[in-house]
Structure 1
């Protein structure tokens, strides 16, 4: 039994297609398509160097093109997802320990207790506040009806 180069490329394409179905990510498909194009090159009698070059060029071009096209088509309306501390800004928090002018208090947000300072005067326990800024491990908050204020400038000690 004589095995030809185009048959090996077809086998590589079949294996690539099977891997594409088994693995997430939509990546192996383009290498399978590159193997099919290389199989055509082998079938018409082109040398192994030309086949490998065609395989690499087609695979890389399809991979790069698909990433660009998919990102433009499917992610055009997507906004940057905020996570962690960055996601807290704008959320409501429940005051658990009174926020007194000049001294902090405690608020509960996402099930966690955080030190907080008020931007608009004292706030009693049980009131809802909005997180305006996160500074280290301290939240700057305001009452929902309060107007937005500028954070007080703090002098850095030791500098």
Structure 2
């Protein structure tokens, strides 16, 4: 197998990775680049496939989990919305069990309280995200 075929495989893997963003095809593309380098040194298909296989195994088992952890340290279930849990907020209106508005960081959210009325201008903490609504509780006093 010639080096250019491995290079084409690498480019196709990188293109697929732009649509999946799971780092699997990125690792396979990297492995194909390693196989491209081996193909420059030898025409033996056995060595090329062996280099691709070993590189893919190492990259998928070790580099992929590291990359996934660096990109999303809270895990797959936590995106931007669920990352709001635990953050401090300030009420913009009175917040009760049914409705209200809070400001979390620079964003205004619909909100409801865990229990009871929380007056406007109070410091609260986000305890849960329910759809597009932040469930808040009064922030405990800081010692």
TM-score above 0.5 = yes
1:83 and 2:79 are equivalent in the alignment: yes
2:128 corresponds to? 133
Larger helix percent:
2
Distance 1:75 1:120 in 2: 38
**Cα distance in structure 2, aligned partners of 1:127 and 1:96:** 8
Cα RMSD after superposing both structures: 3.5
Which of 35, 42, 49 is the matching residue for 2:39? 35
Task: From the superposition, tell whether residues 83 and 110 of structure 1 become closer, same or farther in structure 2 (CA, over 3 Å).
Answer: farther
Trace 1:39-54 onto structure 2 (pairs within 5 A).
Answer: 39=42, 42=43, 51-54=44-47
Decide whether the 8 Å contact of 2:128 with 2:134 is kept in 1.
yes
Check conservation: 2:69, 2:75, Cα contact below 8 A. Answer: no
Larger Rg: 1
Q: TM-score, normalization: structure 2?
A: 0.62
Gaps of 5+ in 1: 1-7, 43-50, 147-159
Q: The residue matched to 1:64 in structure 2 has which SS? A: helix
Any stretches of 5+ residues in structure 2 without a counterpart? 15-25
C-alpha contact (below 8 Å) 1:99/1:118 kept by paired residues:
yes
The count of residues paired between Structure 1 and Structure 2 equals: 119
Q: Is the 8 A contact 1:85 1:134 kept in 2?
A: yes
